[in-house]
């Protein structure tokens, strides 16, 4: 049954939102985040501090899309207030592994005794810091932060080894503020 659907999202003070050709940009005190949100049947309207998502003759599909867009908006708003933070731990039992950052390159040397370093190119919107045996990844976009943390973790993926013995690697211990493992 088709019905009129509407969802309103309140913007906190100090946060502004703009939309241009299906790309919504949210600016706040801790940064800026943008996301492509396109659906031909869902209408966006931005007032002073309210973002309204609506559909005149919506079905279950449009209701799902409006709820998904509202969740994306909430993540954008949270990210520009307080950046999303992922924490990874460096575990090296057999060989002392070295992790460093040079420009926009993340470099791991001496992983399992390898002579050639493993490198990863970081995106410009993600900040990566190394503090002792922990790597901290921060970004105002939850997807960029999560992807960068996952790429760092996959940089030390092992194959043809007994994972019960060779436990060296970099492992995620905190995802966007939620603890995975206690250290």
| Cα 123-22-72 angle, rounded to 5 deg | 65
Please, what's the largest Cα pairwise distance for the chain?
64
* Residue range(s) defining the domain that contains residue 142: 84-179
- One domain, residues 100 and 173: yes
Q: Dihedral through CA 95, CA 179, CA 125, CA 116, nearest 10? A: 10
Q: Are 52 and 74 members of one domain?
A: yes
Same structural domain, 90 and 173: yes
Q: Show which of 81, 99, 126 is a domain's final residue.
A: 81
Residues 165 and 124 in one domain: yes
Helix (H, G, I), strand (E, B) or coil at 181: coil
Same domain, yes or no: 116 and 129: yes
Backbone angles phi, psi at 23, to 5 degrees: -110, 120
**Terminus-to-terminus CA distance in the chain, angstroms?**
52
Q: What is the pLDDT of residues 120-164, one digit of tens each?
A: 999 988 999 999 899 999 999 999 999 999 999 989 877 777 666
Does residue 91 sit in the same domain as residue 64?
A: no
Question: Whole-model pTM?
Answer: 0.84
**Residue positions counted in the chain:** 183
Domain count along the chain: 2
Same domain, 88 and 158: yes
Q: Distance of CA 168 to CAs 96, 158, 178, Å?
A: 9, 9, 23
Say how far apart CA 144 and CA 148 lie, in whole Å: 6
Under 8 Å between Cβ of 43 and 4 = no
| One domain for residues 76 and 124 | no
Distance CA 182, CA 108 (A): 24
Last residue of some domain: 81, 110, 141?
81
Domain containing 43 — which CATH number? 3.90.930.12
Closest to 119 in 3D by CA, of 111, 164, 10, 141: 111
Q: What is the pLDDT along the chain (183 residues), one digit of tens a residue?
A: 688 888 899 999 889 999 888 899 999 998 889 999 888 888 888 988 899 988 988 888 989 999 999 999 999 999 999 999 999 998 887 788 889 999 899 999 988 888 889 899 999 889 999 998 999 999 999 999 999 999 999 898 777 776 666 677 888 889 977 888 665
Same domain for 32 and 8: yes
Among 155, 143, 136, 182, residue whose Cα is nearest residue 36: 143
Residues 52 and 116 in one domain: no
Q: State whether 53 and 110 are in the same domain.
A: no
Last residue of a domain, one of 81, 111, 146: 81
CA distance 33 to 25: 6
Q: Which residues, in sequence order, are CB contacts of 145 under 8 Å at separation 6+?
A: 83, 84, 85, 86, 126, 137, 138, 139, 176
14 and 42 share a domain?
A: yes
């Amino acid at each position: 049954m088709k019905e009129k659907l509407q969802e309103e999202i309140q913007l906190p003070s100090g946060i502004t939102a703009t939309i241009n050709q299906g790309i919504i940009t949210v600016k706040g005190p801790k940064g800026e985040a943008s996301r492509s949100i396109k659906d031909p049947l869902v209408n966006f309207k931005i007032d002073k501090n309210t973002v309204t998502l609506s559909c005149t003759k919506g079905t279950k599909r449009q209701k799902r899309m409006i709820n998904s867009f509202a969740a994306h908006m909430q993540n954008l708003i949270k990210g520009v207030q307080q950046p999303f933070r992922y924490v990874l731990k460096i575990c090296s039992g057999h060989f002392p592994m070295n992790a460093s950052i040079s420009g926009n390159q993340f470099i791991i040397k001496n992983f399992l005794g390898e002579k050639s370093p493993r490198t990863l190119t970081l995106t410009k919107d993600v900040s990566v810091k190394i503090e002792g045996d922990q790597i901290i990844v921060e970004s105002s976009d939850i997807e960029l932060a999560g992807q960068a943390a996952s790429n760092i973790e996959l940089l030390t993926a092992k194959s043809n080894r007994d994972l019960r013995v060779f436990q060296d690697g970099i492992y995620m211990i905190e995802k966007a503020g939620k603890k995975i493992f206690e250290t």
